[in-house]
């Protein structure tokens, strides 16, 4: 798989705006030293090792509002399971590894105990 990621102009503008706002808030809270470092392009993975990219194949209860069901099974292709943080609409603010692991276990258990015995949708919407 190849992923090509880069910041767009609007993302850089948002970063500059938020960096200034955060600095302002910190100064009003009494911070004595504030170092502002807004994001700059191009994207470099070595600068953002703590990023946890999420989204793209959102999990949900209905196929008209999500890509996969509660077992991370595609609504459109029943033999496709999308395991990973792509099921989240956004990052919850913390490392998603434990949640991804729990969902992977949940999906694997459903595949093993239900899907293999009776291939097809595990959830009917």
Predicted TM-score (pTM) of this structure: 0.62
40 within 8 A of 78, measured Cβ to Cβ: no
Radius of gyration of the chain (CA): 20
Contact predicate 6/42, CB 8 Å: yes
In this structure, the number of other CB atoms found within 10 A of the CB of residue 89 comes to 12
Higher-pLDDT residue of 58 and 46 is: 58
- Residues carrying an active site annotation: 52
pLDDT in tens, 59-99: 999 999 999 999 999 999 999 999 999 999 877 767 888 99
């Amino acid at each position: 798989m190849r992923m090509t990621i880069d910041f767009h102009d609007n993302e850089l503008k948002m970063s500059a705006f938020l960096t200034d706002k955060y600095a302002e808030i910190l100064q009003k809270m009494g911070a004595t030293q504030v170092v502002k470092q807004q994001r700059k392009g191009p994207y470099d993975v070595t600068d953002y090792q703590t990023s946890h990219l999420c989204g793209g194949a959102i999990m949900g209860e209905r196929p008209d509002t999500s890509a996969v069901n509660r077992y991370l099974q595609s609504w459109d292709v029943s033999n496709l399971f999308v395991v990973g943080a792509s099921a989240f609409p956004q990052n919850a603010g913390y490392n998603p590894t434990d949640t991804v692991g729990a969902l992977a276990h949940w999906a694997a258990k459903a595949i093993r105990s239900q899907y293999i015995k009776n291939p097809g949708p595990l959830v009917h919407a």
